[in-house]
Amino acid sequence: MIADPEKVLFEALGRRRGSLLQLFGPRVFAAAWRAWRKGHSVGRPAGDPLVMPGVMVVDGGRVRWEHPFRDVGDHPEVARIPELAGLITG
């Protein structure tokens, strides 16, 4: 996990601010509702809360795999990341 308050790495890796639909669209509210029902809530924002999140596997200075978020409520299947990134075969 990387924290990048100045957004230098985020911008180099193509992370940009989300559109209104990506930040506040119906899919986002549906994901927030599911999270709330599980007992999760939104905490105090840190950094720039409008920058779209990203999940990627970087290996040897190159991006080996990336999950492009459609909106801030979108999340990859965390347990499958090693398989999706080609780190596990079989």
pLDDT surpassing 80 at residue 2: no
Residue 90 banded pLDDT, cuts 50, 70, 90: low
pLDDT in tens, 34-78: 999 999 988 888 788 898 888 889 888 888 999 989 999 998 999
Predicted structure pTM score = 0.74
Token pair of 88, please? Answer: 């596990």
At 10 the pLDDT is 82
Which pairs from 45-50 meet CB under 8 Å and 24+ separation? 47/3, 47/4, 47/5, 47/7, 48/7, 48/17, 50/17, 50/18, 50/23
3-class DSSP state of 14: coil
